[in-house]
Amino acid sequence: MFMLKKLEAGMKKTYSAWYKSSWMTTALVCMGGLLSIQSSKNSDIVTDNKPRINFAGELITILGEKLQVENCTIGGLYRQIPVYALPKDADIDPVIDTTFIDLDQVKQIRTPFDDGSKPQSYTFKKRPFNEIIVIMNNDAKSEHHYILEATRKFMCQVIDGDKRLDREMSFLALKSITITSFKKHEDQYTQKLENQKHSAAKAATCSKALDTIKELESGPQNKEMADKLNSLKNSVCLLCQDGVPQQPTCPIK
């Protein structure tokens, strides 16, 4: 008899431990899913092959064209753009001294001229490079001379009335680009679709979480477990109340 009672007590203890472990796992999964959906709503959006940040400014070509441009990048980059110090020997690889620039730190990029007609270009390790002068967007308007691969092009969209014309050019064709503004892109149509997907995913996760809590409430529990379940339910409800209809099982105190 004693052994049976001991076995029964052991089984109850094992069941209690399993139940608490199962409850904690379910709680973590529910909360983790909801929090990941919350954070995904704030992610940036890239659409129509446009950069996430729209850098706009005035482009002057070596032919004297003055153009208003936007969505400017260098080789498709607007941050961490690699540029190099000018080596003294043609056999030195410029990458041994690399600087990374961000366009939001730049006021202007222009090209130097040898005889007033063309920008300087160089060859290092049998690879062509173009020289640029970067004027920083700081109080001192500090000026730095760099080189970058000749294959790395300046890319932008030229503003022509209500049209946007894609343009790509070597720095040999560019006299200067002055950055006048930058702002984050947000395609309204894509944003609407993302919001709809987010709301649907959130509603499904909320419904599943609340159903799981309801199922746990129907199982064996003591006062401590009941309090924890109620606290979890209220937390889920608070996360779910934005844009998701409240369920009858969701009282918020």
Neighbours of 239 (CB within 10 A): 20
Distance in Å from the first CA to the final CA of the chain: 48
Residue 63 in domain: yes
184 three-class SS: strand
Q: Is residue 97 part of a domain?
A: yes
- pTM confidence score: 0.56
Total tally of structural domains belonging to the chain? 1
Instruction: Classify residue 220: in a domain, yes or no.
Output: no
Residue 42 predicted with pLDDT over 60: no
Mean pLDDT along residues 146-159: 95
Instruction: Copy the structure tokens of residue 193.
Output: 């679709």
Write the pLDDT tens digit of every residue in 55-109: 999 999 999 999 999 999 999 999 999 999 999 998 999 999 999 999 999 999 9
Quick check: 71 and 46 in contact, CB under 8 A? no
pLDDT score recorded for residue 7: 38
Q: What is the pLDDT of residue 161?
A: 92
pLDDT for residue 22: 52
In which domain, by residue range, is 120 found?
53-188
> In the prediction, which pLDDT does 212 show?
78
Residue 198 maps to a domain: no
Flag whether 151 is in a domain: yes
pLDDT of 11 > 70? The answer is: no
Q: Is 197 inside a domain boundary?
A: no
Residue 57: name the closest of 74, 75, 80 by CA: 74
pLDDT class of 41 with cuts at 50, 70, 90:
very low
What are 216's two structure tokens? 């746990």
Whether residue 182 has pLDDT greater than 70:
yes
In-domain check, residue 67 = yes
Residue 143 lies in a domain: yes
How far is it, in rounded angstroms, from Cα 236 to Cα 214? 12
